Amino acid sequence: MNNTVFIIIIIAIQFICLCCVIYSSIMMFRNKKVYQYSNKILDQVSIAAKSDISKGRNFEWRYKAFNSVSYTEMVNQFWKKLDSFYPDKSFIDPKAKEPKQK
């Protein structure tokens, strides 16, 4: 095998490894951000649900709205802003009532 071909193969392998390290770093950072964001939203949903329970209203719709987007989806779509996954945040407002079913 020619030395030039061998060097090109080694450089290509190193480049692929570098890309994997960069991707893994981006995904770890994104995972941390999604975790923090999800916990913040879930805390707000829990507060609103407690308000519903104290008023004798249905609270389950809030958790269904929260669960409408999966954690994995939020992590893997790293090019999207986290707020774009929940454009309608009425489910975290304690004053909001359950939407009417169509």
Q: Is 19 among the domain residues? A: no
What is the domain range of residue 37?
25-102
23 contacts 36 by C-beta, under 8 angstroms: no
pLDDT at 1: 61
Q: Is 87 among the domain residues? A: yes
pLDDT at 97: 81
Q: pTM of this prediction?
A: 0.79
* pLDDT string in tens for the chain (102-residue length): 678 899 999 999 999 999 999 999 999 999 999 999 999 999 999 999 999 999 888 899 999 999 999 999 999 998 999 999 998 888 888 888 887 765
Q: Is 9 among the domain residues? A: no
Structural domain tally of the chain? 1
Alpha carbon distances (Å) from 25 to 32, 43, 100: 11, 27, 43
Q: Is 91 among the domain residues? A: yes
Q: Is 68 among the domain residues? A: yes
Contacts 24+ apart (CB under 8 A), 7-13: none
